[in-house]
Amino acid sequence: ALVPDLSGVRVLITAGGTREPLDPVRYLGNRSSGRQGFEIASVAAARGAQVSLIAANVELPTPAGAELVRVETAEQLRQATHAAAKDADVVIMAAAVADFRPVTTVEHKIKKSEAAPEPVELVGNPDILVELVAARDAGEFAAVVVGFAAETGDQTGDVLSHGRAKLARKGCDLLVVNAVGAGRAFGQSDNAAIILDRDGRETEVPFGPKALVAAAVCDAVVSRLNR
Ligand code: C5P
């Protein structure tokens, strides 16, 4: 039987991938399906958590017991996440957020022209995870903050050292590091991860169903909550 070790804990999860519009029909996006975030939502709810999901462009059934808000762009995800974080005990940032967005969104569909196409000018999006950690550290709310890192390094050592550096840079409590690329993780039902805790603990989750990674993420969250 499942242990209700997240009973009454308010868990906010972002999932999916943001889309940054170029015109009414085109966007810059990424390959995130939202599966890993939705699995975490299912597992956390089954373990007793009160789950809120912020889903960016996810085409999956809503996990039982989760409350769902849909967003499209990084800015919408940002607004929704900041608003909801105030009522959360745990924030899990599983969404793949676009690092850049087009400077302008053209009002009408961009025409195929005879001339060379206009270059797309991009501007950086704020790092929501870094903003959340800053707000938490400033005392605006108290929550365990979990980040994700999709790394494409081909050697495990690579992935790990990038992960450790990212954990320090982002200032979150836990970082879930995945190796992506070449058909791995994005859109698949299986995943492997290394969960880094800021106290130095590292948990390796071997390649397997995303539900197993989700369970390991919940275990790491429980151990942070019980500190
Ligand atoms: O730096 P990188 O994009 O690899 O970091 C990934 C983590 O940061 C994820 O948890 C993601 O949700 C979060 N992130 C964010 N805002 C951004 C970019 C990434 O919150 N603009």
Q: Is 127 annotated as a binding residue?
A: yes
Q: Is 170 labelled a binding residue?
A: yes
pLDDT of residue 160: 87
Q: Tell me the three state secondary structure of residue 124.
A: strand
Candidates 30, 93, 133, 164: which one to mutate for ligand 1, based on the most atoms within 8 Å of Cβ?
Answer: 93
Copy the structure tokens of residue 22.
């170029």
Structure-token pair, residue 47: 């373990």
Residue pLDDT, tens place only, 81-125: 999 999 999 999 999 999 999 999 989 898 887 677 789 999 999
Of 30, 57, 178, 191, which residue is the catalytic one? 30
Ligand 1 center–CA 225 separation, angstroms: 22
Q: What is the predicted ipTM?
A: 0.98
How many angstroms separate the Cα of 152 from the Cα of each of 144, 171, 178, 196? 26, 21, 8, 17
Atom of ligand 1 nearest to the CA of 132: 20
Q: Could you tell me which residues are beta bridge partners of residue 193?
A: 178, 205
Mean pLDDT computed over 34-63: 98
For CA atoms 202, 39, 147, 57, the dihedral sign is positive
Asked whether 97 lines ligand 1 (CB < 6 A), one says yes
Mind listing the pLDDT tens digit for each residue in 195-225?
A: 999 999 999 999 999 999 999 999 999 999 9
Q: Is the pLDDT of residue 133 over 90?
A: yes
Confirm whether 191 is a catalytic residue.
no
Q: Is 136 left (phi over 0), alpha (psi -120 to 50) or beta?
A: alpha
